Every structure is written in C-alpha cells, then in structure tokens.
Amino acid sequence: MAYGKLTLRDIAIVLALSLGSITYGYDFSIISTTVGQPSWYAYMGLTTDATSPNYSFSNSMLDTVFGLFSAGAIFGGLFVGWYSDAHGRQKALLIGNLINIVGGALQAGSAHIGMFIAARFITGFSGAMIVTLVPIYIAEVAPPAVRGLLVGQHGAFFLVGYTLAAWVGVGSYYSPNAAFNWRFPLSLQVLWPLLQLCVLVWLPESPRWLVRQGRSDEAWRILARLYHNPSDGQQLFAREQFFQIKAQCEADQAAYGDVNYLDLFRKPHFRKRALIATLVMWASQANGAIVIYSNIVVLVAGLGFDNAESLFLAAGWITLACVGNFANAYYLDKLGRIRSLMIGITGCIVCVIIEAAIVANYGGTDNKSALSAGVAMLFLFICFYAGFVDTTVYVYCSEIFPTHIRAKGMGWSIAIFFLSTLPFLESSATGFATIGWKYYLLFIILPSINVILLYLFCPETKGQSLEEIGAFFNDNVAIRLTHISEEEKRALDERILAEQTIINGQDVSAASNSADSEKTPKVTV
C-alpha cells in the first residue's frame, strides 16, 4: 500500500477481513429468501393467505423476525465499540465470529418461531460487532489516497454475502425436501465466520490501536510491513505515517485523556461527529432501501410474479446490488463521500416516486407492461443505492472519528443504522398490507429532507489522512502530511529522518528493509 500501490499482503488482509463482511451480508440477507420459502411458513405455523384468520399474526411475527435482528444489532454495535477499544480489534473480531456461529446454528435448528426470533437477535448482535470492526480495521491500515477503495471493499463484500444468500435460496427452493428448503441456507451462516476464524490468527492488530495502548514497537513493525517500498531505502512513507499517528495519539491523549460513550455527547468536537454520523446512517435507511432489501421477494410477488419468478428476480436484484457496491468503492476516492450520498439518495427518491405511482395504479392488475416497469424501478433503485450510498456510509463513518474514540463512534454509527431500520422493518409487512402504495410516501419525504441536511452539515473527507480529518471538527492536528507544499514536506521528512534514523541502537531503515523479520525494532519519537 506504500504510496497508494497495493501489495499482495495488503490484498490478502482486505480479503481476509472481507470474510466478516460476507458474514454480515449473508446473515442479514438470508431472511429475505427464507420468507420466500412456503415450507418455512408451513413449519412455523404462519401463512401468506390474506383471507386466513392467522394472517395478522403471521405479519406481526414476520415484522418481529426482521426487527429483532436490528434490535440485537443495536446492542452489538454499542458493545463492540467498548470491547474493541479495551481488548483490541483482533480479539473483538474473534468474539463476534464465535457468537455468530451460535446464532446461525440456532436458526438452522429452530424448532418453532420463538426460537427462530431469539436466534435472529443473537445473530444481529454478532453481525453488528463484525460490521463495525471490519471498516475500522481497514481504515486504520489504509493510506489516504486509496482508503475509500479499500474500506469500500467492506460494503462490496457484504453484498457478496447478500448475493450468495439470494442464489442459495433460489437453489434450495427446488429441493423436494421441505426442511432442506430453508434449513440448509440458514446453516451456511456458520461457514463464513468459521473461515474467518481460520485466518484471524494471521491478521496483525491495528497499528493505531497499538500506538494508543503504548505498544509503539509493535505498531512500527506492522506499518513497516504494510507500507514497505522496495524502491525507497529510507522507507519515508512508513516513517511519515508512524510519526503522524504517534504524534496525533499523544496530542489527543493530552487533550482528552480516556474517553467513553458519554464523551461522544459531552465534548463538542465529538458531539458534532456523532450527530453527523447519525444523520448519515439515518439518511442511508430513510430512503426505503432496508424495506426493499428485506421484502424484495414479497414486493416482486406483489407485482404479479409467482414464487419461483420472484426468487429469481430477487436474486438478480441482489446480484446487481453487488456489482454496484464494487463500483461505488472504485470511484469513491475520486467522486467524494458526500457527493456520492447526495447523488444516490436523490436517484432513489425519483425511483420510489415512479414505483409508488405504478403500484397505486396497476398493483393487483394483470397489466404485465406496467408491472414489469415496477420491477424495473426496483432495479434502477438499487443501481443508485448500491452505486452511490451503500459502501459510502461505512467509509465515511469510519473516517470521521479519531483513533481514541473511533471504535465507539463507529459502534454508535452502526447502532443508529439499525435503530433507523427498526421503525421500517417493524411496520413494513403490515404497512404494505394495510395502506399499500401510500407506505412509499415515507421514502419520498424523508430522504428529500436528508439530502439538504447532508449538503449543509457534512464535510468532505476524501484524500485526507485519518489524523488530518480532525481539522474539520476543530481538533488540533499535530502533523500534516497531505495537501502541503514540497518545501514543507522536505522539511518534515528531514525532521523525521533525524529523529527516527537510529533508535535504541538500531537502524530503522534497515529494519524497514527487512520488515518481514521476526525481530521488532524499538521506535520512539
């Protein structure tokens, strides 16, 4: 990753962490195909027949299944913010994966709807831990120039999880074994965390967290490996990054000391970040994306397609979303975070307006052209949401908090993400069943307001180092490395070389050039 160039080691780290992204994506999305399996309804004693006396109860249970995942995720996001600061990113990821395996196994083995709902809560708790940790870790090892691309892989790969869940659901639908139809897709939830556990011991700890814990020697060894540049014998890029991280951590410690969740709101610099993260996460969900994600099979079926057609169209919709998220990650460093959000949410508003009009006028009819246009609007919606919003929110919220409160800030952001989903998930099945197309009005009015708020209050962070983003929130930035003149950079590099060349009797440049050595160079600034 030195000077923005990726190495095989960097790619391997991102791919290993992205197993966690797949875990969350599969956990969240598998319920969409599960509720499209008639055998699941039959086993759980539920119905999709609107004339059945059990229909109202079934809708309330369906809302609870969706809602309890989000409720568990709220607690999981807040818990991991504390735990990963206290015990490290690597250990927190270990705990999250272990809990996730338990939740997935309980879902696959559920004997009744109550057990299934409880298992969804457990899976939501652990899924939030993982979805919080992955972007934090990648952000804390990525250089500024390509941070959007690398952190964006988190959003792209949890769409891989969505896609896998969708197509596994399609394949399982055709099994003559009623239990296999829904138990097998649910059982695959344990595969992805098991795979991550296999590679977790190989992943290095976050160097920024290590510096915060006073373990600078370990942090230097990791940075020297991550940013090793064979063409630069002095390893200036690695030195600059270490110098800036350590200086900023010392400045933050002197200014704020140890922080807790209450400090997110007691200290003005942190409160502004927390409010902006709240706005960004709320805006990402108040456009209807979570409702369409969770109910895509049901929505397509409501446009006149049978079960098999609905599952295929839903799987194609999720696959398109996956492609869109990779595209979002690719151009995010060029387009910018806030511009991406505004373009994506505005596009979603237009699609929902047209979708609502189609459902209002042609829903329940046999007008195939109009109903096909309704499906087309759902596909265009996901092009805007996946292409501009879905990846961006994780990148942005992982950037705006400083190291000493990043995990808590990201945990808060994920909690808000899922808290924002609760009113929609708890009401969506009942809402569509009772007021029909009018339910879409929520996703026209709310995002229209949010686009204005994003423009007015959210600073652009592309191209800035994590330590320098604090300037947007009136923090003291100890060392600037980006957007400085060549003369300033030369002077800074001379200072870094003078202070870091020989440390504790060791030549740092030699240590950098042999970064794969097991010997840990002792570094101080």
Tens digits of per-residue pLDDT, 327-374? Answer: 888 888 889 999 999 999 999 999 999 988 888 887 667 777 877 787
3-state secondary structure at position 507: strand
Predicted local confidence at residue 6, as pLDDT: 63
User: Would you state the pLDDT for residue 223?
Assistant: 85
Contact indicator for 77, 415 with CB cutoff of 8 Å:
yes
The domains located in the chain, with CATH, are 2-203+258-473 (1.20.1250.20)
> Residue 132 corresponds to which amino acid?
T
How far apart are the C-alpha atoms of 272 and 346, rounded to whole Å?
A: 24
Buried b / exposed e across 346-359, counting CB within 10 Å, b at 16+? ebbbebbeebbbbb
Q: In this predicted structure, what is the pLDDT of residue 337?
A: 93
Rounded Cα gap, residues 525 and 515, in angstroms: 19
**pLDDT confidence of residue 501:** 46
* DSSP one-letter code for 205: P
Residue 504: burial class (beta carbons within 10 Å; 0-12, 13-18, 19+): exposed
What number of CA atoms fall less than 13 Å from residue 315's CA on the CB side?
Answer: 19
Between CA 134 and CA 126 the distance in angstroms is 13
| Nearest partner of 226 among 146, 300, 330, judged by Cα | 146
pTM above 0.85, yes or no: no
Q: Which residues of the chain have pLDDT under 50?
A: 1-3, 501-525
Two tokens, residue 442: 């929520």
**Distance between CA atoms of residues 471 and 400, nearest Å:** 10
- Looking at residue 519, its pLDDT comes to 39
pLDDT, residue 251, reads: 83
Amino acid 307: pLDDT: 66
Which of 348, 261, 292 lies closest to 77, judged by CA?
261
Total count of residues recorded for the chain: 525
| Helix-strand-coil split of the chain, %, nearest 5 | 80, 0, 20
Instruction: Specify the pLDDT at position 280.
Output: 96
pLDDT at site 503? 39
For 506, the 3-state DSSP assignment is: strand
Strand partners, 506: 503
Distance CA 145, CA 241 (A): 13
